[in-house]
């Protein structure tokens, strides 16, 4: 493959992904419940199936967007730094909340799978559902579970949390921005954080903090469980 063909393939995958996502964001402005990630994924999957375009060819361009995830995650440090004094004042409560959220998240999945007699592989793959996908995949590997299933459950959890999390919490009377941010960051990782950042910087700050700490705490929790088991 010459340089021109490679550039064309990379440009195509990158362009179609960006165009579809921008269109999905515009659609969300009119239909609030239409999450752009769901719409984008549906459109792109349908396009690949209909066109017969090899997934690897599409990924050559789309994977460039994955490189931006690192800088985007690091950029969350900016609002965290801006609100560092507020975070410092409530750090103990934040840590306690996230730790409880991690334990409850793991325990609830175990209870549900036990009640419905779910398979061990599925149960193990669902356990790390509330952390970001890269961490969930690594935890699933260490547990001998299915990494691909772990990624699917993680993305599904994040999308559901972003779609209904804020509305559900407000229905329960929870309106404090710190509480909303911590809840969504703990339960819905990056998707929840993106939703919080769209609502307010303060929510996004605590959601981003919760997302990061949730990954650390959950990883430590599974490390302990792995040693015990």
Query: pLDDT per residue over 87-106, tens digit each?
Result: 898 899 999 999 998 888 88
Spell out the domain ranges in the chain.
Answer: 3-67, 77-228
13 within 8 A of 58, measured Cβ to Cβ:
yes
Q: How sure is the predictor about 2, in pLDDT bands with cuts at 50, 70 and 90?
A: very low
Q: Nearest-5° angle of CA 148, CA 217, CA 68?
A: 55
Q: Which pLDDT value is given to residue 96?
A: 93
Q: Which pLDDT value is given to residue 10?
A: 65
Q: Which pLDDT value is given to residue 31?
A: 82
pLDDT at 108 over 50: yes
DSSP string, 138-191: HHHHHHT--HHHHHHHHHHHHHHHHHHHHHHHHHTT---HHHHHHHHHHHHHHH
Quick one: tokens of 96?
Answer: 């306690």
Task: Determine the Cα–Cα distance for residues 112 and 203; give it in Å rounded to an integer.
Answer: 30
Task: Determine the Cα–Cα distance for residues 205 and 173; give it in Å rounded to an integer.
Answer: 21
Query: pLDDT per residue over 50-83, tens digit each?
Result: 888 777 777 777 777 777 777 777 788 888 888 8
Looking at residues 10-23, what average pLDDT do you find?
84
pTM to 2 decimal places = 0.78
CA dist 68 → 65, 74, 209 (Å): 5, 10, 19
Report the mean per-residue pLDDT for the chain. 83
218 within 8 A of 86, measured Cβ to Cβ:
no
Q: Which pLDDT value is given to residue 109?
A: 80
């Amino acid at each position: 493959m010459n340089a021109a063909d490679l550039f064309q393939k990379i440009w195509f995958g990158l362009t179609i992904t960006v165009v579809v996502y921008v269109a999905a964001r515009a659609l969300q402005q009119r239909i609030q419940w239409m999450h752009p990630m769901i719409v984008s994924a549906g459109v792109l999957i349908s396009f690949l199936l209909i066109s017969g375009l090899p997934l690897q060819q599409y990924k050559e361009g789309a994977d460039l967007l994955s490189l931006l995830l690192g800088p985007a995650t690091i950029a969350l440090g900016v609002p965290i730094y801006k609100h560092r004094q507020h975070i410092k004042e409530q750090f103990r409560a934040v840590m306690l909340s996230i730790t409880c959220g991690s334990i409850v998240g793991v325990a609830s999945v175990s209870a549900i799978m036990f009640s419905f007699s779910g398979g061990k592989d599925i149960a193990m793959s669902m356990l790390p559902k509330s952390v970001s996908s890269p961490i969930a995949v690594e935890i699933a590997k260490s547990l001998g579970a299915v990494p691909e299933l772990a990624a699917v459950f993680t993305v599904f959890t994040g999308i559901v949390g972003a779609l209904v999390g804020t509305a559900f919490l407000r229905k329960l009377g929870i309106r404090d921005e710190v509480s909303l941010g911590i809840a969504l960051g703990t339960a819905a990782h990056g998707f929840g954080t993106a939703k919080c950042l769209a609502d307010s910087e303060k929510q996004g700050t605590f959601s981003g903090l919760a997302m990061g700490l949730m990954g650390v705490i959950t990883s430590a929790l599974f490390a302990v469980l792995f040693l015990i088991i």
